[in-house]
Amino acid sequence: MVQMVQTQTNQNGATATRKTSKKRASKVDTVPCGVCKVRKCDDEYSRSWTQCQYCLQWYHNECQGLEENEPVGNFACVECDDIE
């Protein structure tokens, strides 16, 4: 949340100041990997990510034992794959 100060001047030249709040839209992807917990925005190596189709958690391919650029269709993470 961003705090803003707004100043207005009326017809008599008097000024009034008030604080307003505005939610800032986050453009940074802060989703963490379900295994190593590194957030996408902090991933210095730009590794490939895959989303589990069951729990909807995101994972680095390497954290799930997949090749870096391996195309993944209906992916189930290790935990969800054990449930099935």
Furthest C-alpha separation in the chain:
74
Residues contacting residue 84 through CB under 8 Å, at least 6 positions apart: 76
In contact, 17 and 5? CB cutoff 8 Å: yes
Give a yes or no: residue 62 inside a domain.
yes
- What secondary structure letter does DSSP report for 39? B
Give a yes or no: residue 43 inside a domain.
yes
Give a yes or no: residue 41 inside a domain.
yes
Reported as a pLDDT band with limits 50, 70 and 90, residue 3 is low
Give a yes or no: residue 17 inside a domain.
no
CA-based Rg of the chain, rounded to a whole angstrom? 23
At 81, is the secondary structure helix, strand, or coil? helix
> What pLDDT does 47 receive?
87
> What pLDDT does 41 receive?
86
CATH of the domain at 77: 3.30.40.10
pTM: 0.60
Which domain range does residue 55 map to?
26-83
Whole-number Å distance between alpha carbons of 19 and 13:
20
Tens digit of pLDDT for each residue in 14-60? 666 666 655 555 677 888 999 999 888 888 888 888 999 999 999 99
Query: Which range, 23-27, 68-72, 77-81, has the best average confidence (pLDDT)?
Result: 77-81
Give a yes or no: residue 60 inside a domain.
yes
